[in-house]
Amino acid sequence: MKIGLCTIAFQEKPLEEVIDIAADYGFDGIELWGKPPHLPAEYDESYVKNVRDMALRKGLEISAFGSYVDPLMPLHQKHFEEAFKVAYDLGTNLVRIWSGGGPSKSIVPADRRLILFRLVSITQWASFRNIRLGLEMHNNNFTDSVATILETIEGINQSALQTYYQPLARSDADEPHAAAEKLAEHIVNVHAQNFDENGKGCPIADGVVDYARVVEILGAAGYSGYLEVEFVHGNNKLEALQRDRDYLASLINAVDGDTLKDLDIEPV
C-alpha cells in the first residue's frame, strides 16, 4: 500500500505549493482535486500536463483524478470524456466519479434506473481506454451505503467500475469496519477520514474508526492501492498532516511486516 495526499486538503494554497508539501512530508502520490484553483473550470491540456510534470519532478505519482462528474449531470457524456482526457494527461488511469441522485433512501426510482443505465455505457467507454472508475462513497448520493454501492457494481458487472472507501459520519451509515470487509474486493482507493463520537472530523488516529483494523482487512483482501489523507484537522495543519501521514505509514509497515513473516521472508 502507498500513502497519498488529496490536494483538496490544502485547497486554500496554490497547487504547486501543495505538491511541494506532499513531497516534503513523505507522500508517495497525490490525488488532484478537480475544481479551481487546482484545476481550471475548462479543460486545459497544457496546464494538466504541467501538473503531471511538476509532480514527477518531485518524485510523486498522480494516484487519481478527483473529478466531480456524475451520470445525472447535463451533457454527462461530454463531461466524462473530458475527465478521461484529464486523467490521461495526468498519467493516471483512475478517475473518481459520483453517482448523484441524492440520498439512497429517498432517491427517485427513475433517477436510480438512469444512473445504472448510463453507468453501463460510461464504464464500457472507460474500459476500452484502460480507465478505472472509482465511485465516491459519500452522503447525499446514491452510493451512500454498502448495499447501494454493491448494487451498482454488481449491476454494471464490469471490472473497470470499483469504489472508493471512506467511513461516513451519519447516524444510519454502515458500521465502518463491516463496510470495509463487505467492500474490500471492490475498493480501488481509500479516503482515510475519521471522526469523533459526535461526527466531528478529527485526526486519523483519534476517531471512532480503527484504521489498524481497516488496513488489516484491506491487506487480507490483497489491496495494494493508496491510503489518502483528504482533510487535515488541527490548529497547525502541517503538524497534523505529518502525524496523519506517519500514522498511516506505521499501519502499512505493520501489515507488510506480518506478510513477510507469514511468507518466512526477512524484511530488508
Q: What are the pLDDT digits (tens) for 221-238?
A: 999 999 999 999 999 999
Q: Report the alpha-carbon distance of residue 242 to residue 237 in Å, rounded.
A: 9
Which cell goes with 239?
A: 503538524
Which cell goes with 125?
A: 467507454
Whether 243 shows a pLDDT value over 70: the answer reads yes
Whether 266 shows a pLDDT value over 50: the answer reads no
Cα–Cα distances in angstroms (integers) from residue 203 to residues 42, 192, 218, 244, in the given order: 34, 10, 20, 7
Question: What would the CATH number be for the domain defined by 2-262?
Answer: 3.20.20.150
| Residue boundaries of the structural domains of the chain | 2-262
Mapped onto helix, strand or coil, the DSSP state of residue 24 is: helix
Give the pTM. Answer: 0.92
Q: What are the pLDDT digits (tens) for 3-16?
A: 999 999 999 999 99
Arithmetic mean of pLDDT, 129-145: 97
Residue pair 187/217 in contact (Cβ under 8 Å)? The answer is: no
The residue type of 145 is S
Q: Report the alpha-carbon distance of residue 5 to residue 241 in Å, rounded.
A: 9
Q: What are the pLDDT digits (tens) for 162-202?
A: 999 999 999 899 999 999 999 999 999 999 999 999 999 99
User: What residues have CB less than 8 Å from 173, skipping those under 6 apart?
Assistant: 139, 144, 145, 167
Q: What are the pLDDT digits (tens) for 78-90?
A: 999 999 999 999 9
Residue pair 87/94 in contact (Cβ under 8 Å)? The answer is: yes
